[in-house]
Structure formats: structure tokens, C-alpha cells
Chains A and B, each alone.
Chain A
Amino acid sequence: MAKVTLKDIAHSYTGYSENPDDYALKSLDLTWRDGGAYALLGPSGCGKTTLLNIISGLLIPTKGQVLFNDQDVTRLPTEHRNIAQIFQFPVIYDTMTVFENLAFPLKNRGRTKTEIEPRVIEIARMLGLETNLYTKAQHLTADAKQKISLGRGLIRQSVNAILFDEPLTVIDPQLKWELRSQLKYLHKQFGFTMIYVTHDQTEALTFADEVIVMYEGEIVQVGTPEALFERPEHTFVGYFIGSPGMNIAPCNIQGDKAIIDGHEIALTRDYHAIPAGAKIEMGIRPEYLRLNPPGGAGLPVSIKKVDDIGRYKIVRVGLNTREFNVVVPELSGMTGDKASLAFDIEHTNIYVNDHLFSGEQQ
């Protein structure tokens, strides 16, 4: 087990280049503490898998260093890094039995039979594979095959880190939940350093102590699930996390007031330091907006659409040309399509050129 440090890592698939657009990963520094559970979250093509492959040594980065416990491993081949990685689609050795598949990583490292057997049985029991340990792996279901892949990743106890590359993509939702809690349990029990790549926010937020959000080859925010929800540092994190995502609306700022389409909203902080000419937006989560009956407190809006998704409703409202999503438990006391939209000022963030801007305390 180890602390993993990335120092000024950048990678371009076309080799060294001066043009930053050629880079799939753009210069990042990051430290993963020993025994932490991390999630790398981002849309497809944002460089998550590239980053993972750099840690496991399947890729040599164009620039920068990878350190395991302060030892430089940037150029060390994968097989000497003592790392486990689980891929998106199941990889099994067709001609081997389930037992042989699970034992393979240990056998290759010269462990004896007496060491291998109890460990394989333990892992198989944990993943629910013990009933068909001695059947050939080839004709099992995709679920079972992916469990074998997971098992091969978890079988070695002394790995520096375990990397998961969207490992639950092919798994049924019910089993997905089960396996995810199994992984969490394993993490607590053995204290592996785990890095989990996903584009599914629920998966990331339930698995990890700390989530790293990536966007177009850059890290846009590192934080706990709560921080990502409450104070997204980038508008991308705002819409990517949450369902529906954060409402982002262009606005003007005058000192401690935001002006949206001629309507003034008083803010709690002072923003006179925003540079002139910058792109200014206001972000607020649908959970922090309230709808009052027309004529009540707030801005006058018209209701465009209501989606009832069970425990709450998502209401889409229009303020002149702008639209906002509002999460409400119940649309009570309202008739017609008019309402008043009230902002929870404590949870309203201001973004300048897509980055969170903290105003001054008044």
C-alpha cells in the first residue's frame, strides 16, 4: 500500500508538443494518500482512463513524474509496480477455471499452493463465486466474468493501489449496488488505496471519500461529495453533479447585487473585485430555489413544465428568456402557470469565466 503522487503530469498521444490542445491530460499535480478511497469523475473522453493507465504504467506520460511513497516509478514497467487494475469489460483467461483465473496473479508471483488456496477461496466467497470455482470461466455470464476480473484485482494483499476503470458498466443495477458496497467493505477491512474511475456521479459519490472531477484533461475540483454539491468550483462541476444539475444563468454584478434580466437580487458578499469584461454567471442548485404563489416573495416566473419523479417534482420555470429547474416537494396553493421564484442567497454562487469567485465579506 502506498501514497501515490503525480507531479506535473501531462500526456499527449501524439508525442511531445508545444500546443496544449494536443494533450489528453493537461498538467496536473495530485497526491493520493495511503489507504484513501478516491473517485475520478468526468464525462467520456476527459482523460480519466489515461490518468489511470499512467498510474498503472500501461502508459508513460509525456511529461512529469509518478511517485509511489516518494519513489519515482514513472518509467517502471507495469509488472514491477505491484498494482492492480480492473477494466471496463471483463477480461478472463478462457481456458482456465474460475479458481485458476483468481490464482493466476499470485501464481505468476511465485506464491506457493498453501498460500494461494485459502486466499482464492476467501475472495471467491466474498464475490459469490464459490459455487462454480472449478468450472471453466468461458461460459459464465458477463456478471460472473466481471466478478472474476474484480477478484483478480483484489486477490493480492500487498498491492500499492487498486485501480478501477468503470468496472461496473456491464453489471446489472441490483448487483452493482451490492458489489459497490462489497468494495467499500473491502476498503475498510484491508485499507487498500483505491482509485475508481467512473462517469456515474452516484457511483463516485457513494464510493469515495474524495472525488476528483475532470473536464477536458484538467482537474476542475477535488473535494468531498458535500463540497462538490455545495460549492462547485467550476460551472462544469455544477451541472455534472446533481440531478438535475445546477442552474447557471448569465448575470451582471453591481457590488453586492446580482442583476438578472433587470431583476435585482441582493447577495451576502461583495463582488466589486470582478475584473471588467469577464463572463459572469450565477449558479444555484434546484434544491435551493423555492416557488411561492404568484405575487409572493421572489421574481415573477411562468411555469413551463412539471416532471413528477416520485418523492419530489422538478419544475421548469421561465424568467423572461432564462429558464431554471426548481425541485419542490409539492406544488401547493398554486393555480395557473404563474409563480414567484425565491433564491436561497446563502447557496448562490458567482462564477467568473467558469470558475467560482468568492466575494468579500461585508
Chain B
Amino acid sequence: MIAKQTNQKAWFMVLPVFLVVAFSAVIPLMTVVNYSVQDTFGNNVFTWVGMDWFKDLIHSERFHAAFLKQLMFSGIILLIEVPLGIMIALAMPKKGWGVPVCLISMALPLLIPWNVVGTIWQIFGRVDIGLLGHSLASLGFDYNYTQDPIAAWITLIIMDVWHWTSLVVLLCYAGLCSIPEAYYQAAKIDGASRWSVFRYIQLPKMQRVLLIAILLRFMDSFMIYTEPFVITGGGPGNSTTFMSIDLVKLAIGQFDLGPAAAMSLVYFLVILLLCWVFYTVMSNIGEESSNGGK
């Protein structure tokens, strides 16, 4: 009996964490859950609709389209930012005056607020006054992000690459800097080629930071809202209406609180699921390279 009582006391230790999580995440999320299972026609009158909004959402073509666009956007920027980030990190100097210069210029884009980045590129790409848009137009390119979906996508992707590649660079650079000099010396003694040094020393040592970089970039790009909202507003047409933009249209534009709440929850679960998949897969690769063998 006494032993049991002592055990129960441990719950008080987790109570503070429990409360913090409850107030910061669970309770706010519950209000959304509340909306997702009811319908309202104003005057604070709610009716129970069960899982209807979720059923509608799963079969909605609009949701499918937004989801696919979102996946494609995250996929493309990861494919560009990760290799590019690694390449820049490898090219950065390891000592001397070049280090602070490179680090500061790499960190600068990260310090700019999202809506400012959006505004910069919105103006930069304009055909009438923007440096990029106007130059391209006068060189004879048919570039106009307000009319051409491809141009809009390219603008958003270049903007994201400009804004966030630095994050991958800085993380990879930190990983590279932690490799002791003896590894490079041993590789020279062993007659390893530049590619072998990368493949067998640098890449394995960067693996952990690379996992963090990919996870952060995936989550962030999958939730991107401000920049496309400022630059294209989801257009032309619906070509850049990603999930977050669609969600805001649904919730605030159309004031469909029920469907919007259902979509929020699905969006949240999708991100949670994909992050978990990413993390598991990437750490398994790590485990395999350390534990595996015949």
C-alpha cells in the first residue's frame, strides 16, 4: 500500500508540464475541434453535424488541389535548397576574414520578416517598375507573375530559395566545422579523392544537422502563407493557392467556420504525420549507417 502511495506522488512532478501543454496547445486546439463538428448560421446558434465536414473535405477537389500544390512546392524547394545549401557550405572559408563576411551575409535574409520579403519580391518582380520584372521584359522574356502561373511559381520558388537556403548553409557549415582536421589529413594519406572526402567524411558528419535542416525547411515551407499572400494572393487563378491560403479564404473570406476547422485539423495532422515519417526515415538511415552491417 505504502509503495503505491509513493508512486502516485510522481504525478505531481509532471503536473506543471501537463498544465503548460494543456493551456498552450490542447485547450486552444479543442475550440477548433468544437467548431469542426458543428454548424452555425450566426447568432451563436450551433448544430451538431458529426463528421460531415471531414467527409466533405476528404472528397473535396479544392482541398486535393491545394494539398498537391503544397506538396509540390515543398518538394521543389527542398530539392533546390538542400543541395545548394550543402554546396555553399562546402565553398565557405574555414578561417580568416572571409568567415564573418560569409556568415553575416548568409544570416541577413533570415532576419527579414516574411511580409517584408514578400513585398520586396512583389516589387522586384513587377514588370512596370521592378528591377527583375522590367529587365526580363526588356530582354524579351514573357514574364508576368500576375498573369502567368509558371512565372508566379518560379518567382515564389526563387524567393523561398533566396530567403531560406541560408538556414541550410549555416546548419551544414556548423556540421562541417565540427570535423577534426585529422580526418582530412588521414584522407590525404589514404589518397582519397575530393568526392570520397565528401561522401565518406563530410556527408556522414553532416547527417544530423542535415536532418534538422530538412525537417525545419519541410515544416516551414509546408505552412507557407505570408509570402504568396503578399506576392500573388494565391493567383493567377488558383495556381498558387496553397493549403494555408485556401484555409484563410475558407475561414475568413467565406466565414465557413466548420469546414475551416475541419481543414485546420487535417492540415495539422498531415504535418504531424509527415514530420514523423521524415524523422523516422532519416534517423533509420542514420542507424543503418552506424549499426547495420552483415
Contacts and interface: CB of A to CB of B under 8 A. Distances in A.
Contacts of B189: 56, 78-79, 83-85, 105, 153
A58 interface: yes
A96 B200 contact: yes
Contacts of A152: 186, 190
Interface stretch (B82-90, B120-128, B136-144, B285-293): B285-293
A311 interface: no
A149 B186 contact: yes
A87 B291 contact: no
A66 to B, nearest CB: 16
B188 A79 contact: yes
A105 B190 contact: yes
B180 interface: yes
B73 to A, nearest CB: 32
B293 A91 contact: no
Nearest to B199: A95
A144 B294 CA distance: 18
A108 B192 contact: yes
Interface string B203-219: 01100000000000000
Contact of B291 (A78, A83, A105, A136): A136
Interface residues on A, range: 20 to 34
A93 B185 contact: no
B26 to A, nearest CB: 39
B201 interface: yes
B191 A94 contact: no
A175 to B, nearest CB: 21
A216 B154 CA distance: 62
Contacts of B186: 85, 87, 91, 149, 152
Contact of B200 (A77, A83, A88, A95): A95
A254 interface: no
Interface in B197-244: 200-201, 204-205
Interface in A87-129: 87-89, 91, 93-97, 104-105, 108-109
Contact of B289 (A56, A87, A89, A94): A94
Contacts of B180: 89, 91
Nearest to B288: A136
Contacts of B44: none
Interface string A137-157: 011000000000100110000
Contacts of B205: 94
A79 B191 contact: yes
A91 B183 contact: yes
Interface residues on B, range: 20 to 34
B276 to A, nearest CB: 25
Interface in B85-114: none
B196 interface: yes
Interface string B259-294: 000000000000000000000000000000111111
A55 to B, nearest CB: 12
B182 interface: yes
A85 B186 CA distance: 7
A202 interface: no
A87 B182 contact: yes
A210 B183 CA distance: 30
A136 B292 contact: yes
B188 A136 contact: no
A105 B186 CA distance: 10
B291 A108 contact: no
Given A108-B192, A134-B294, A85 B289 contact: no
A94 B193 CA distance: 17
A56 B189 CA distance: 8
Given A91-B182, A105-B190, A152-B190, 8 more contacts: A77-B188, A79-B188, A85-B189, A94-B205, A95-B204, A97-B293, A104-B190, A104-B192
Interface of B: 180, 182-183, 185-186, 188-193, 196, 200-201, 204-205, 289-294
14 contacts: A78-B188, A85-B185, A88-B182, A89-B180, A93-B201, A94-B204, A94-B289, A104-B192, A105-B190, A108-B190, A136-B289, A138-B289, A149-B186, A152-B186
